[in-house]
Amino acid sequence: MVELKHDERLDYLLAEELRIIQSPSVFSFSLDAVLLARFASVSKSRGSIVDLCAGNGVVPLLMSARTSMPITGVEIQERLYDMAIRSVDYNKLQHQIHMVHDDLKQAPDFLGKEKHTLVTCNPPYFSTASKNEINPNEHFAIARHEIMCTLEDCIQSASRLLKQGGKAAFVHRPGRLLDIVTLMRAYRIEPKRIRFVYPKAGNKEANTVLVEGIKDGAPDLKILPPLFVYDEKGDYTEEVRTLLYGDEPPFLRS
């Protein structure tokens, strides 16, 4: 059993056969989180992972199906942290996933500097704007706008957490790509892989970008093939269906 509070619901992470607590008035994960968890280079067992801006714990939960490495999620919003803790408990993953309620800027101090193998982050996408441009819902505002942390804060903390040769993976909007690459290099994370995500084939502009780098890595950037979310009929493409539902569609499972 799981305790659900207020307007919370228990949703499926279908490909992983896990459940996650969500709330329409507080936080529900998007496809971006799934893409990040799949894109990041996760080894099977050696090392440790830190997920910054962890929200309700969706990225740690998704990555737990790919590795036995310990995963720590850092989330500053108490309500989201509480949701994540209960989701981890419900899925009986306390032995692998540890959630921390704290400021990611302090994460290297309490999780260890230059110690971790992989850092992932789905940061707020929008710079802090005027009050009338920010969502009046505090939870949405913090998740979407650089109120509690900036892009630079995220990348600097990732660098401080990573051991030499460790990897950092980010998901963001393409309009911030130059900022991301510039900041990664400024903090000793060499960009190595970039993948653009388009709503569907034929769209002129990507709406999401995935970037991964290696701390103190040698320059050698690869632009991966584009990912299209929808086909011409408006359905998920085969690749996205696999990311969301696994190799076998959920309606075919016994």
Mean pLDDT for all residues in the chain: 90
Q: Could you read off the pLDDT of 207-219 as tens digits, one per residue?
A: 999 999 999 999 9
SS3 114: coil
SS3 105: helix
Q: Could you read off the pLDDT of 87-127 as tens digits, one per residue?
A: 999 999 999 999 999 999 999 999 999 999 999 999 987 67
CA-nearest of 86, 72, 123 to 9 is 86
What per-residue confidence (pLDDT) applies to 198? 97
β-pair type (208-215, 162-172): antiparallel
CA-nearest of 183, 200, 186 to 236 is 200
SS3 content of the chain, % helix, strand, coil (to 5): 35, 30, 40
Measured at the CA of 139, the angle between CA 134 and CA 143, to 5 degrees, comes to 70
Measured at the CA of 23, the angle between CA 143 and CA 63, to 5 degrees, comes to 70
Radius of gyration of the chain (CA): 18
Tokens of 171: 């998901």
Would you mind telling me the total number of residues written for the chain in this entry? 254
| 8 A C-beta contact, residue 127 and residue 146 | yes
pLDDT confidence bin for 14, thresholds 50/70/90: confident
The pair phi, psi for residue 249, each rounded to 5°, is -55, 145
Q: Could you read off the pLDDT of 68-77 as tens digits, one per residue?
A: 999 999 999 9
Q: Which amino acid is at 122?
A: N
Q: Which domains does the chain have, with CATH numbers?
A: 9-184 (3.40.50.150)
The model's pTM is 0.90
| 8 A C-beta contact, residue 212 and residue 155 | no
